[in-house]
């Protein structure tokens, strides 16, 4: 998905038993979608950082939504049942959705877990890519790409660096569903 493009309609089941669509977040000042999963070491390194972003920007009306599109037949840790167990044990507050058909990941043109997509108040894509510059060690982070983009977007400014190459595991596409 290209910077400046509008968010499309979607509807996905959440780990909390609810079904969510893009209109559920219409009252939020910005919407952050993170393509992620349960099994990837890169994705696992970011869960607490995602939670901190969600908590930090709750007052600023940022919605944080994580979406797992991975093929759970080949990667059972990414099954919807395991996603539910993970969220129950973690006590994270953000929404975690299942993209079983991988339609949302394909529309976003996502390639990695984790990969961030930030939409402004008009639901235009203003940032896509990496969360920060040190997946292995949160204390070694020197560039907070996503946080900078959130700050700028919430302030109504244009994001300085709208695309930063994400680092992570490749999305585990269903057989025959790989993007062309």
Could you tell me if residue 122 is inside a domain?
A: yes
Spatial distance between the Cα atoms of 127 and 163, rounded to a whole number of angstroms:
6
Could you tell me if residue 175 is inside a domain?
A: no
**Residues 121-156 pLDDT 10s:** 999 999 999 999 999 999 999 999 999 999 999 999
**Residues 9-38 pLDDT 10s:** 999 999 999 999 999 999 999 999 999 999
Collapsing DSSP states into helix, strand and coil, what is residue 150? helix
Any idea what the CATH number is for the domain that residue 47 is in? 3.40.30.10
pTM of the model: 0.96
Collapsing DSSP states into helix, strand and coil, what is residue 138? helix
What is the maximal distance between C-alpha atoms in the chain?
Answer: 42
Could you tell me if residue 69 is inside a domain?
A: yes
The edge-to-edge listing of strands for the beta sheet with 30-35 is: 95-98, 62-68, 30-35, 115-119, 125-129, 163-164
Q: Which contiguous run of DSSP H or E holds residue 44?
A: helix 41-56
> What's the pLDDT score for residue 35?
98
Q: How many domains does the chain have?
A: 1
Could you tell me if residue 2 is inside a domain?
A: no
Q: What is the extent of the structural domain holding 162? A: 13-170
Could you tell me if residue 1 is inside a domain?
A: no
Could you tell me if residue 36 is inside a domain?
A: yes
Could you tell me if residue 180 is inside a domain?
A: no
Could you tell me if residue 101 is inside a domain?
A: yes
């Amino acid at each position: 998905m290209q910077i400046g493009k509008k968010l499309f309609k979607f509807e996905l089941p959440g780990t909390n038993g609810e079904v969510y669509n893009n209109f559920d977040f219409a009252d939020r000042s910005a919407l952050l979608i993170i393509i992620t999963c349960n099994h990837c070491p890169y994705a696992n390194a970011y869960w607490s950082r995602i939670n901190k972003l969600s908590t930090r920007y709750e007052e600023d009306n940022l919605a944080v939504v994580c979406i797992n599109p991975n093929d759970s037949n080949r990667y059972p840790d990414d099954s919807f049942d395991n996603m539910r167990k993970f969220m129950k044990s973690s006590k994270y507050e953000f929404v975690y959705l299942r993209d079983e058909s991988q339609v949302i990941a394909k529309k976003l043109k996502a390639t990695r877990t984790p990969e961030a997509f930030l939409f402004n108040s008009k639901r235009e894509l203003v940032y896509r890519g990496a969360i920060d510059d040190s997946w292995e060690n949160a204390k070694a982070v020197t560039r907070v790409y996503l946080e900078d983009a959130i700050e700028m977007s919430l302030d109504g400014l244009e994001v300085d660096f709208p695309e930063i190459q994400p680092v992570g595991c490749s999305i585990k596409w269903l057989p025959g569903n790989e993007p062309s």
